[in-house]
């Protein structure tokens, strides 16, 4: 049940980010364009599952977007609005939220074993 709640929670976060982009007259489509950029972190798996999980998990959590938006806010308070930093934070958080809503959690022993549980492959059915 907790996994379902976390997935719903993250879907709500993703939707809120889209609405915020629209409300602040930012290019909402940038969320989609930048989406796959953050998945480049999975390249760490080319060096092994341990390093892969560390690199993937470093990018696929909310710490990076929180730091980016904090930097944006500090600069804004200082009178230097650097909007691209806020957009980076929005795109990054959107990616994390959508991944979590789809069941892609932080990686544990293997790519398929996440903090949201084991990722399941869907059985393919033959169309006759």
Tens digits of per-residue pLDDT, 7-62? 999 999 999 999 999 999 999 999 999 999 999 998 988 999 889 889 999 999 99
d(CA 81, CA 73): 8
Is the CB of residue 100 less than 8 Å from the CB of residue 7? yes
Domain-by-domain residue ranges, the chain? 2-113
Does residue 67 contact residue 127 with C-beta atoms inside 8 Å? no
Residue 103: what are its φ and ψ, rounded to 5°? 100, 5
Cα gap 42→17, rounded to integer Å:
24
Helices 2-23 and 83-101: crossing angle in degrees, nearest 10, is 150
């Amino acid at each position: 049940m907790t996994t379902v709640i976390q997935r719903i929670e993250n879907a709500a976060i993703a939707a809120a980010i889209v609405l915020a982009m629209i409300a602040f007259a930012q290019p909402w489509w940038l969320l989609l364009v930048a989406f796959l950029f953050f998945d480049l972190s999975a390249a760490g798996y080319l060096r092994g599952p341990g390093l892969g999980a560390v690199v993937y998990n470093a990018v696929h959590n909310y710490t990076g977007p929180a730091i980016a938006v904090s930097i944006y806010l500090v600069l804004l308070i200082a009178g230097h609005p650097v909007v691209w930093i806020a957009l980076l934070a929005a795109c990054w958080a959107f990616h994390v939220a959508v991944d979590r809503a789809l069941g892609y959690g932080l990686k544990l022993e293997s790519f398929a074993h996440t903090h949201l549980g084991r990722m399941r492959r869907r059985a393919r059915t033959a169309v006759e």
